[in-house]
Amino acid sequence: PDVIIEAQFDDNDAEHGQDHLQDMLTDDVKKLSLDTGEKGKAAGVTGVHRAKQDDGPKVSDPRLLSDEFLQRTAKVVCILEKKHSRAATGFIKLLADRNSELFKRCAMFSPVDHRVPRVYVPLADCPPDFVTKPEAYSQMLFICRIVDWKEDSNFASGQLCKSLGQAGEIEPESEGILTEYGVDFSDFSPEVLECLPQNLPWVISPGELAKRRDLR
């Protein structure tokens, strides 16, 4: 695997032409492929170590390589189910190119979770003084929801939903996590509260305790 074939091209090869040189290289590659397979069986642990270190045989034609040296590729053809809520927590900042038309319309949203792409958000969704004082919002957490991602754009498009507060504080961070995972943390409705015991203080009746397992 650590052998590299180099073509020695001189005046004699020029006289015979390019076809002669190509035939010589093809024969050398085939020999190298066969030698690699035979040496690999007898090399044992040492052979495995060398293969990892040298990243496999240096062969110009990938069709001569074995499957273990090939990287499989694929293409996404359909999204069966959308798992992510399309909401993310992050920070907003001005675009780098101040002379572009996009700078006048959009800001850049950078999610805290790096698995989520960066998002263009309208300046109309940002605080009124964001353009003049962007440093005042450098540590302010926002919730952004992705609404579109065009095929010819490097970044998604989204809308700012709300400002959470300063990064690092418990309440803004917790609200951001719950929103990203789609957890409903709003107040209970009056209908739900009416299902609870109304006569307080409430205690578990002896009959109820008798038919339940006490895990306290």
What are the pLDDT tens digits along the chain (216 aa)? 455 555 554 545 444 555 555 676 667 666 665 555 555 555 454 444 444 555 555 667 777 888 888 888 999 898 898 888 899 999 999 998 888 889 989 999 999 999 999 999 999 999 999 999 999 999 999 999 999 999 888 999 999 999 999 999 999 999 999 999 989 899 999 999 999 988 888 888 899 999 999 888
Q: How many residues does the chain have?
A: 216
pTM over 0.85: no
Q: Domain for residue 191, yes or no?
A: no
Range of the domain at 152: 87-181
- What does the DSSP assignment read for 27-87? HHHHHHHHHHHHHHHHHTHHHHHHHHHHTS---S-GGGS-GGGPPP-----------S-SE
Give me the CATH number covering residue 92: 2.40.50.700
Q: Domain for residue 111, yes or no?
A: yes
Q: Domain for residue 21, yes or no?
A: no
Q: Domain for residue 171, yes or no?
A: yes
Total tally of structural domains belonging to the chain = 1
Q: Domain for residue 157, yes or no?
A: yes
Q: Domain for residue 210, yes or no?
A: no
Q: Domain for residue 58, yes or no?
A: no
DSSP state for residue 89 in the 8-state scheme? E
